Chains A and B, each alone.
Chain A
């Protein structure tokens, strides 16, 4: 019997109110695009927002729903724990497990798969991010950029429904970052993974041509297509190149 299509509204819906010392994050959103960018200067609350969406932190009032499934709702006292939300997060720091090899790191979230399936998925993920040749290495033998690639592969491996990226390419140089971004975009589209990426880099946001939420001092300043919301940033970048 097919499940009735109740409120399976696709996408990510959230309403967040959280305080961190003197900082107040108060933002709501409704992301339906497969790829959304949260753009804002450092200190705007991007990382805090992603951590709250991932269920790692608590706020004053948090409501998060993914494809109609309520993940957090303080009023209803719902708080699905991080590992059960089908949500992945790649933080700014790769935070790989230092005592495990690269392959073991990527395989950490694949307990549900059998041994053979796990090996295959790890290989697939490592080649996706261009880190296949590091499989046997330890995290401390990787460069910053390599570690970020592995962290990305580790978060993608369990095929989450939602992938949160917090400045995931900051340690990669421009060309490498562009190539990786392109491969990733194709992969997440094929696997129907929704991505929310936080960045303070306008070029990344513009290159993706995605929906952008402009976050300033914990508030939503604007939301819309990149070319529109980041028009000023774009002009500034072009002017700088023209000089």
Chain B
């Protein structure tokens, strides 16, 4: 097994998840608290990566971030190298690709909080930022956990975007799923089996951890532990 690919995958998923939380908590709060009709357009755009084939997304990003566009040239000038075929490029791609997986649980969790409680906070003078910090996030903790795990695992399992945007550079863009693809192409089925097995076990363990947490929450009403 390729340890480098494994560590790179974990790094990519961790960085992506952290960025997604920083984007999606305010974005979800805005979608839930805001009243403007055109917010539906924002929500639709944020859900688009869910329905687009990853290769389509990767292709658009490759073109956008490449030297043919002003955006791509601007970024290349700013950071010293083009974003495509670099780890930073993968992070950008992964953030967009996994955005719905972080956003949807948060929107669902925030929406489940009764509007009357948000009204009460508003009337007591709380700013939107304080409402997010003191009401939305603490009350939607299970959704926050779901958002973290789903975006992390979704990034771990990402393939199409990485292939289009990252290529196959060891230590920079060669993630586990790319490694697996290479191994199968080279008919190295034994190594491929190990890589695929690792991905399955890793994802399964993470999911078991969340679901067992969720089950203890549903259990007896008698004791209330403070987390």
A135 CB, min distance to chain B CBs, angstroms: 17
A98 to B118, CA, bound (A): 12
Which residue of the partner chain A has the closest CB to B119?
A56
Kindly list chain A residues whose C-beta atoms are within 8 Å of the C-beta of B51.
none
Contacts of B121-145 to chain A: CB distance below 8 A: 121-127, 134-135, 138-139
Known: A97-B135, A99-B138, A99-B139. A158 touches B116 (CB 8 A): no
Kindly list chain B residues whose C-beta atoms are within 8 Å of the C-beta of A96.
117, 120
CB of B123 within 8 A of CB of A95, answer no
Known: A93-B116, A95-B114, A97-B135. A158 touches B121 (CB 8 A): no
Chain A 136-157: CB-based contact to B (< 8 A → 1; otherwise 0): 0010000000000001001100
Size of A's binding interface in residues, CB under 8 A: 24
B125 CB, min distance to chain A CBs, angstroms: 3
A87, A93, A95: residue with the most chain B Cβ atoms closer than 10 Å: A95
Known: A98-B139, A99-B138, A99-B139. A108 touches B121 (CB 8 A): yes
A150 CB, min distance to chain B CBs, angstroms: 11
Which residue of the partner chain A has the closest CB to B116?
A95
CB of B123 within 8 A of CB of A87, answer yes
B53 CB, min distance to chain A CBs, angstroms: 41
Contacts from A to B (Cβ < 8 Å): 54, 56, 81-84, 87-89, 91, 93, 95-99, 108-109, 111, 138, 151, 154-155, 158
Contacts from B to A (Cβ < 8 Å): 114, 116-117, 119-127, 134-135, 138-139, 224
- Give 24 A-B contacts (CB < 8 Å), ordered by A residue: A54-B123, A56-B119, A56-B122, A82-B119, A82-B123, A83-B122, A83-B127, A88-B123, A91-B116, A95-B114, A95-B117, A95-B120, A96-B117, A97-B120, A97-B134, A97-B139, A99-B139, A108-B121, A108-B124, A108-B134, A109-B123, A109-B126, A151-B120, A154-B124
